[in-house]
Amino acid sequence: MKAAIIGYGKMGREIERILTERGHEAALIIDTDNAHELDAAHLAGIDVALEFTTPETAYRNIRTCIECGVAAVSGTTGWTDRLGELQELCRERGGALFYASNYCLGVNLMFRLNRQLAAMIDRVGGYDVRIEEVHHTQKKDAPSGTAITLAEGIAENLAGKQGWVNLAPGIEHAANRIERSGEAPADRIEIRSVRKGAVPGIHTVTYESEDDVLEIRHTIKNRRTLALGAVVAAEFLCGKQGVYSMDDLLRNA
């Protein structure tokens, strides 16, 4: 498999290592200093592109890949209000697009468990729910895409919850937990965002009643698990057409 890496930060370098370990070729590397090379000429012969950049550039990067007939795997968060446009373009062009807010296998198992637990809590009643996500200070978006996916899964299965709210979205680099700036509306799931140190990612879903607290938590120990998941997704996507997610990958595992 000949791959392009779009975004050569810590994740991009880890993806390159895993591609090599698994017998693939990182044939093209695109970063800020050569972004102009993301074009049809340089993408010629590329089987799949792995895109981990910024919310400001992700849409353009992925669109270019689709228009050039290159399958795209993306894990960039903070821009997905336009994801539907690219999914539709992909279908129109007969292309291939794989998107996930988190490529860690354990996180995606947590997504499933989270939906099932929300449905069970809905039947039992008496609990309120909140989410906390903790990441390194270099993470540019808040709340995390993973936290949003968790919140959406809860809202789909827990009556009375219509969405989520990040009560202090302007404070992205607090040394400690972001202080509550008021109460979350009753029909919204509160997401607390914490930015400190070099934490790869911790997500905690908490259900609390008057009598007890129930939590599910996932902790990423290093970026390798994310990069490995992205490369496995690229292997899965290679040669296919259509729009895919981690649910599709797990169903075919």
Which are the catalytic amino acids? 135, 139
- Neighbouring residues of 100: CB distance < 8 A, sequence distance ≥ 6: 75, 108, 229, 233, 245, 246
Whether residue 75 is annotated as binding a ligand: the answer is yes
User: In the β-sheet with 48-51, what is the strand arrangement from edge to edge?
Assistant: 25-30, 2-6, 48-51, 71-74, 96-99, 242-244
- Asked if residue 15 lies in contact with residue 230, where contact means CB atoms within 8 angstroms, the answer is yes
Whether residue 101 is annotated as binding a ligand: the answer is yes
b/e 98-112 (16+ beta carbons within 10 angstroms → b): bbbbbbbbebbebbe
Whether residue 76 is annotated as binding a ligand: the answer is yes
Whether residue 57 is annotated as binding a ligand: the answer is no
> What is the rounded distance in angstroms from the CA atom of residue 184 to the CA atom of residue 164?
9
> What is the rounded distance in angstroms from the CA atom of residue 53 to the CA atom of residue 47?
19
> What is the rounded distance in angstroms from the CA atom of residue 149 to the CA atom of residue 74?
15
Whether residue 84 is annotated as binding a ligand: the answer is no
Whether residue 100 is annotated as binding a ligand: the answer is yes
- Neighbouring residues of 168: CB distance < 8 A, sequence distance ≥ 6: 178, 179, 180, 181, 192, 193
- Run of H or E residues at 52: none
Whether residue 102 is annotated as binding a ligand: the answer is yes
Annotated binding-site members for (S)-2,3,4,5-tetrahydrodipicolinate: 136, 145-146
Annotated binding-site members for NAD(+): 31, 75-77, 100-103
Annotated binding-site members: 31, 75-77, 100-103, 136, 145-146
